[in-house]
């Protein structure tokens, strides 16, 4: 399926900002949040060419950690729902779209802590401070 994940320079710069603001120092953890946030949007990310022009790359195993089967299942379920072919190159492209869209979502939220990430998640689920204030 997916072996290596390569980020664009724009995503690398966004992740550097997120690392500084949230205190989360591992790329893979921020990328997991980003991927899940994009999936939670419920829509297929728009097609676009995303360059692999940064020095940031990680293996799928580093990205997924001990929850490999969970992230793989989320990707496959979402791909099938969106009519994406379940072949390696199509899944790689689809994953990159979700990952980069999720990173853009995270950076646009002006998060300044881990608590901010948790609050964002609770707000997405219809609970927590962001929802209650509305």
Rounded to whole angstroms, what are the CA distances from 130 to 34, 117, 125? 18, 12, 10
Answer yes or no: are the C-beta atoms of 101 and 12 closer than 8 Å.
no
- Give residue 130's pLDDT: 43
What CATH number is attached to the domain comprising 42?
1.10.1220.160
Geometric angle at alpha carbon 14, from 13 and 20, rounded to 5°? 90
- Give residue 73's pLDDT: 97
Q: Which tokens in the block code for residue 92?
A: 């790689």
Q: Which tokens in the block code for residue 93?
A: 């492209």
User: How many structural domains compose the chain?
Assistant: 1
Q: What is the domain extent for residue 25? A: 4-132
**Most confidently modeled of 103-107, 120-124, 130-134?**
103-107
User: How do residues 31-59 score in pLDDT, each as one tens digit?
Assistant: 999 999 999 998 999 999 999 999 889 99
- Give residue 116's pLDDT: 76
**Contacts of residue 1, Cβ cutoff 8 Å, sequence gap at least 6:** 60, 72, 88, 91
User: How do residues 77-106 score in pLDDT, each as one tens digit?
Assistant: 999 999 999 999 999 999 999 999 999 999
Question: If you average pLDDT over every residue of the chain, what do you get?
Answer: 89
**Contacts of residue 58, Cβ cutoff 8 Å, sequence gap at least 6:** 4, 5, 27, 28, 31
């Amino acid at each position: 399926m997916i072996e290596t994940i390569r980020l664009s320079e724009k995503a690398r710069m966004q992740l550097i900002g997120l690392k500084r603001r949230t205190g989360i120092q591992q790329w893979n953890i921020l990328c997991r949040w980003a991927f899940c946030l994009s999936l939670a949007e419920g829509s297929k990310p728009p097609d676009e060419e995303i360059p692999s022009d940064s020095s940031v790359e990680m293996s799928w195993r580093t990205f997924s950690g001990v929850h490999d089967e969970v992230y793989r299942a989320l990707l496959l379920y979402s791909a099938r729902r969106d009519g994406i072919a379940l072949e390696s190159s199509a899944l790689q492209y689809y994953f990159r779209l979700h990952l980069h869209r999720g990173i853009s979502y995270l950076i646009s939220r002006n998060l300044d802590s881990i608590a901010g990430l948790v609050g964002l998640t609770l707000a997405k689920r219809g609970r927590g401070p962001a929802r209650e204030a509305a």
